[in-house]
Structure 1
């Protein structure tokens, strides 16, 4: 009974704290609306006011009903609107906010147009790590990354010259961004404003299970071969996960492990593992005599990651490796492949059926589920280092047919920036 009472008290305290935060957000939003009155002659400012009002009405409604969740506060757009208003006050000759432009058949919203139309600005108030993760593809299906927005802004600016000039594009990162991401955005010719943060850079596919590095450092046995499906030597089709493609083209798997010691703990650990257990020979041996496939989602994610954090040679290896891989639509099945499947007894029935599905959450990410399910449908062994997904799927009763190897990050950019020096 005492434990029940404690639980009730804790829940009440949590609810009270959430309500206090909602009240603070509402006060913040009302103050924000008042602060933009001085810009009332600015094109698009009324639209911005309406958006803020809609956000306030939503917060007031959940405050009234008491159905408050932490996500309501964390995902509030008021932070972004506030950043836009603050940026307006710092620019010169602002002529429009929330300006909608057309790019092909899509609408592109330009946050701020200033310098009499010669500068377009996008204001980003997201958490820096979240920005990098989304660029790695770790987001719900359809969520566009800041790199996607960069491409849109540049392309749209070319189609809408002002005073016979292509408008300059500026991205303002209110909370900063990772070094690698800043470099990638600048490669489009965009000026980046905001603190550059080294510790939020992401070096590899975030779906790869990296949460167990600490435990692994305490043990000599980190081999994931026990997770691999036994008796799969006769299966001649391979489905490549993003993590497998990254490992195959990674600089650390192609010679740099013996040349550098890295100051970043995760990279240093992977380099040490690579010296002890080189992964590329293992993958090459497994690939022998087999046909390699990947789905469109895996290819797109792989290219995005390589383009964002890959080095020159890693990009070259990625292009060459993709030429060896047959890319199919995400929803492809074994019938789409011209091969003799008669020997693949393991695939008389696919793992996932309408009455047997996986729940997204935790280590079961949306993108990984698409990739593993693709391998299941085409009757291929999924090659992956995402042991977290494999374990989580097994806990839900799904045993995918897999070959699991050790994870390796893209490291070439770090060999100059963060390597402490030649090993030999």
Structure 2
């Protein structure tokens, strides 16, 4: 959907310029602190704001009370959506996506990301509802109606591979008029998602003389948020096998974590799952994560260097990290209410790694851990496997993360290099990051 315009001819041009400049500065501040947004995405948004400022700088206050059209409201709305807590894995903002092998059909998508774990596209509009036409001007290719734009988006989505979304979500910050809303529901049967969006009264603030004050605010109370499903196979997560209860008397945080896994995997949940890669399994059984920090700190430096060689500093940094914030507590928060799965490749790699590098206690913990996770076949998603296999996008990792993607599940990982490489391709990916832990031979 093309960038939307807002017009105001009721106040002087000088006032419009000053107000819009303040909005640009405020939204620029918001962009800088957006969490989990890549540098390239921030640069794209920043360039759009700078373009608005450049346009404003070319206007003069002597041009009478003419109307001025700006795009800053559209950028504000995109930033508002990006701040929603159920959005992650943002890989693209404000880009066009075209049909493969053709340049004639392209659709504007404001956000490519995951929403509640599913890959989605967001299309954002800040237009006044009375200027949103359902049919548009049929004789003009530049003034297509909303219906035609939706159909183009669906066609591009259906024919995408790596970027294919489960759904397209339309965020109309000023809502839709009754006729357009009724036509939208009649022809596309969307799901209303407004109840899943937070902070509809939204303010831009600025620090002045040591205090934060609201300088601009706007409300999204009248927004319409509509989701159209794209025809993608849906996985029945409740068909995953359950793990039979196993009588264990494990203690400590490892015992708490294992008990929680047994509870999640042995009973009906809401169908949510979490996929572990090998780094996550290692972190769970590592001696560092299991009361071994003081023992390592008390070990003479020459002995540590003989054991860990060039990785000594890396291991000590993990010890200090564990003392500051125990990793089992972080993982417990992630897995609560979710079935815990690993793919066959991870299972095999983990067993081999523990056999070669694990100590007696780490091997015992690994044995207990593998009894309570669900092993699923390697089944990487089509969109993951459509990415080229490169040094940064290795086949092994594509299989592991792709299996999580196939189940529409987050992958718990410390391998953020692979995650960044995937996001750089433009594909969104649902992951949870954990701090790395090494096997210590404990």
Between Structure 1 and Structure 2, the one with more helix by share is 1
Relative to the length of structure 1, the TM-score reads 0.37
